[in-house]
A and B are shown apart, each in its own frame.
Chain A
Amino acid sequence: MPVVNERSERMKKFKNKGKDAAALRRQRVEVNIELRKAKKDEQILKRRSISFSLMDESLSLGEEKRNEIIQLSLEEIVEAVNGSNTELQLQATQATRRMLSRQKDPPINQIIELGIIPRLVEFLTHADNAPLQFEAAWALTNIASGTSDHTKAVVEGGAIPAFISLLSSPHMHISEQSVWALGNIAGDGPLYRDALINCNVIPPLLALVSPVTPVGFLRNITWTLSNLCRNKNPYPPLDAVKKVLPVLTCLMEHEDKDIISDSCWAVSYLTDGSNDRIQIVVDTGILPRLVELMASPELIVMTPALRAIGNVVTGTDEQTQAAIDAGVLAVLPALLRHAKPTIQKEAAWTLSNIAAGPCQQIQQLITCGLLPPLVELLDKGDFKAQKEAVWAVANFTTGGTVEQVVELVHSGVLKPLLNLLLAKDSKTILVILDTISNLFLAAEKLGETESLCLLVEELDGLEKIEALQTHDNNMVYRAALNIIEKYFSGEENPDLQPGTGQDGLYDFSVEKQDFNF
């Protein structure tokens, strides 16, 4: 009987309470395809350095006079750059940089087509001509800030080693511009990130961090470091991570919120991976600081800190416990009630992974008062957050003890949960139905199946589950049917059925077997 087998398959899944935490804990990416726009609250991958005003420019150029700006045609630029007159080289490079720095539609493609990139890279090595080095670095920075093809043009022009050696330039503004350029290259993806790391970018970069480094410079360094930590497939090499982490933990203590934000982003990338990578971060002892930052009033700080901790609790039970010990449960209620839907959602996702842990952790979740905000979120949260809250409840009912599940029901979870059976999302509906099955399993142990049946009916749940038996999605309809069949009708045990005798009545008969209970 296929139906019975299917059911027992499902039961096995349910009874496998919390044993397979890896399956319950959900990593950040379930689906690689995105229909959505790239997320707005993500950190910026590449940045262009824009001249907002002449004033700005003259400041950055130091002694240079503002009315010396000269307009050159593209042909003139090519000619000058390729020529040997250093004065003209500087003028042409500056003109190029200026075009690339204008606010609207920088002509990156046209500049690349001029074929002057190798020449600009060469200028980077002109240690005797700091203004030329700087202008070239700036221009290349802005080219690298474009699409992947743009970045590729810069890298293939041989810019990586040149920029790395410029990190140690005696001129701070040149060193800073190089940091920026390297950040853009690293932000392109794992390939160039690792190319940089293989060229040994990290030691000179870290050497720039010191107590006297100006804040603006430090911001650039932190951002570039974060791009060196970013991206998967593959992850950045472990030894590089280990070199960067101690500096990141220091930067996280800085008072500047941009520096904190970018260092948190870096940590969030490092934790977005396998458990051994999470462990390296946990070992730095940084979790308490991250939890503290989760409570920051600054959105740009709170967002990456929450994300990093959210990633940590996708790890092992011990790693999750480290986050709990760092106080994450005390901070989550406020985040679950945050006005911004994405924060609600991240917080609920984090909670769902903590709820996927062993019952001791679930108990801590109860003790720290997470159930009321969870129920609130389920009731009134943004839809994205409601979906995560449903997962949290599902995991809770899978791994929790019977007493804990009772506590969950008493906190009023059933009504909003059953209401969400009307959600416009099949997966959410299926997870809710699985959760209801879990609740029934707990009720069975308490001999309270009938009261749960009544409660579900009173809250208009039965009506909704019955309606789902005609849902277009097969799995949804079968899950609904299973609940109805299992808890709202009877079931037979075929082995012990009597046959019928000659008188037409049941035959009372039995074969003996060995018993061992």
Chain B
Amino acid sequence: MVVLSAARWVRSRLSDRFWRVQEVLKHARHFRGRKNRCYRLAVRSVRRAFVRSTKARREKKRFLRELWITRIEAASLEHGLKYPAFISNLLKSQVELNRKVLADLAIYEPKTFKSLAALAQRRRQEGFLAALGDGKEPEGIFSRIVHHH
């Protein structure tokens, strides 16, 4: 006898439900409360956690840049310069170091950072002389621009 359609009371039943549940619960093990044990609550929490982690990747860049700026500001204030003056004068002297590197230098290489602060201070003074003097004085040494062709 050929049976062309399965009998209606035969259903296919899951045999690996345990592992499907564990796949979700393993991402919830470090949560607080019943979310780390109960599947129904864990599913919602795990999904929200993943969504938040993808969105936070954009925020992380902003957060780290803010952190670096705070550190550079603190270090340059130790040497008597404010952050906007430090950064702008470094750029005018063609020292194109980004904030991450400057923050690492301020922590691990304090003497190098001191010399960078001195460079920015010198360039600042030359800028003032060029703007206020406006006379026959020669241009400052550190104000010269190197052209790479």
A and B from one assembly? no
